[in-house]
Structure 1
Amino acid sequence: MIGSEGAVEDADLLVIGGGKAGKTLAMDTARAGRRVVMVERGMIGGTCVNVACIPTKALVTSARLARRAAAARSLGLNLDKPEVDPRLLRSHKEGVVSEMVDLNHRQFLDSGMDLVLGEARFVAERTVEIRLNDGGRRVVRGADVVINTGTVPYLPPVPGLAEAGVLNSETIQRLDRLPERLVVIGGGYVGLEFAHMFAAFGSHVTVIDHSPALLPQEDPDVTEVLAECLRQDGVEMVGGVTVKEVAREEDGIRLLLGDGRSLIADDVLAATGRSPVTAELGLDAAGVRTDERGFIRVDDRLATDAPHTWAVGDVAGSPQFTHVSLDDYRVVKENIAGGTRSTSRRLVPWNLFTDPELARVGLTEKQARATGRNIRVARLPVKAIPRARTLRDTRGVWKAVVDRDTEEILGVALLGPESSEVLTVVQTAMWAGMPYTALRDGLIAHPTMAEGLNALFASWTD
Structure 2
Amino acid sequence: MGTSTNRTRAGNASLEQAVEDYDLVILGGGTGSTVAAWTFASQGQRVAVIDRKYIGGSCPNIACLPSKNVLHGARVASYIRRSEEFGLFTDGLRVEMPAVRARKRAMVMGLNEMYLDQYKRTGAEFICGSGRFVGPKTLEVTLSDGSTRLLRGSNVIVSTGTRAALSAIPGLTEARPLTHVEALELDHVPAHLIVLGAGYVGLELAQAMRRFGSRVTVIDHNDRLLHREDDDVTGALADLFGDEGIETALNASVKKVSGRSGESVMLDFEQDGRTTTIEGTHLLVATGRQPNTEDIGLELAGVQLTSDGYLKVNERLQTTATGVWAIGEVAGTPQFTHVSVDDFRVVRDNLMGIHRTTTGRQIPYTLFTDPELARIGLTEKEAQAQGIAYRLFKLPMEGVLRARTLSETRGFLKALVAIDSDFILGFTAFAVEAGEIMASVQTAMIATLPYTTLRDAIWAHPTLVEGLIPLFSSTPSSSTDIPAQVLEAVSVNS
C-alpha distance in 2 between matches for 1:177 and 1:2: 51
Shift of 1:149: 0.8
Shift of 1:110: 2.2
Q: Which runs of 5+ in 1 are unaligned?
A: none
Highest Rg: 1 or 2?
A: 2
Given the alignment of the two structures, is residue 258 of structure 1 paired with residue 270 of structure 2, yes or no? yes
The number of equivalent residue pairs is: 462
Q: Is the 8 A contact 2:403 2:464 kept in 1?
A: yes
For residue 227 of structure 2, the aligned residue among 216, 241, 245 is: 216
C-alpha distance in 2 between matches for 1:313 and 1:428: 23
In structure 2, the CA distance between the partners of 1:3 and 1:75, relative to structure 1 (3 Å rule), is farther
Given the alignment of the two structures, is residue 284 of structure 1 paired with residue 299 of structure 2, yes or no? yes
Moved over 4 A (4+): 1-5
Q: Is the 8 A contact 2:3 2:21 kept in 1?
A: no
Shift of 1:23: 1.0
C-alpha distance in 1 between matches for 2:90 and 2:260: 40
Who is 1:406 aligned against? 421
1:461 is aligned with what amino acid? S
Q: Is the 8 A contact 2:3 2:19 kept in 1?
A: no
Who is 2:317 aligned against? 302
Q: Which runs of 5+ in 2 are unaligned?
A: 6-15, 479-494
Q: Is the 8 A contact 1:3 1:138 kept in 2?
A: no
Shift of 1:3: 7.0
Residues 82-102 of structure 1 show CA distances to partners (whole Å, capped at 9, x for unaligned) of 211111011011111111011
C-alpha distance in 1 between matches for 2:122 and 2:354: 24
Who is 2:481 aligned against? none
For residue 192 of structure 2, the aligned residue among 181, 193, 203 is: 181
C-alpha distance in 1 between matches for 2:260 and 2:346: 51
Aligned pairs (5 A) from 1:330-409: 330-409=345-424
Residues 302-327 of structure 1 show CA distances to partners (whole Å, capped at 9, x for unaligned) of 00011111000011110010100111
2:410 is aligned with what amino acid? R
Given the alignment of the two structures, is residue 73 of structure 1 paired with residue 84 of structure 2, yes or no? yes
C-alpha distance in 1 between matches for 2:159 and 2:141: 15
Residues 137-187 of structure 1 show CA distances to partners (whole Å, capped at 9, x for unaligned) of 111111111001111111111100111121111111111111110110000
Q: Is the 8 A contact 2:176 2:260 kept in 1?
A: no
C-alpha distance in 1 between matches for 2:94 and 2:128: 41
Who is 1:25 aligned against? 36
C-alpha distance in 2 between matches for 1:184 and 1:444: 41
Q: Is the 8 A contact 2:26 2:157 kept in 1?
A: yes
Range moving further from structure 2, 263-272 or 25-34: 25-34
Residues 385-410 of structure 1 show CA distances to partners (whole Å, capped at 9, x for unaligned) of 11111101111111111101111101
C-alpha distance in 2 between matches for 1:231 and 1:104: 41
Given the alignment of the two structures, is residue 274 of structure 1 paired with residue 289 of structure 2, yes or no? yes
C-alpha distance in 2 between matches for 1:370 and 1:130: 48
1:33 is paired with a residue of what secondary structure? coil
For residue 293 of structure 1, the aligned residue among 300, 308, 314 is: 308
C-alpha distance in 1 between matches for 2:225 and 2:177: 23
Range moving further from structure 2, 55-64 or 128-137: 128-137
Q: Is the 8 A contact 1:226 1:396 kept in 2?
A: no
Who is 1:454 aligned against? 469
Who is 1:146 aligned against? 157
Cα RMSD (Å) of the superposition?
1.4
Q: Is the 8 A contact 1:222 1:397 kept in 2?
A: no
C-alpha distance in 1 between matches for 2:241 and 2:458: 34
Q: Is the 8 A contact 1:155 1:162 kept in 2?
A: yes
TM-score for both structures, normalised by structure 2: 0.91
For residue 87 of structure 1, the aligned residue among 98, 102, 118 is: 98
Who is 2:488 aligned against? none
1:291 is aligned with what amino acid? T
Shift of 1:295: 0.8
C-alpha distance in 1 between matches for 2:260 and 2:91: 37
1:11 is aligned with what amino acid? Y
C-alpha distance in 1 between matches for 2:109 and 2:128: 18
Who is 1:163 aligned against? 174
Residues 258-297 of structure 1 show CA distances to partners (whole Å, capped at 9, x for unaligned) of 2301110000100011111110111011111111221101
Q: Is the 8 A contact 2:25 2:155 kept in 1?
A: yes
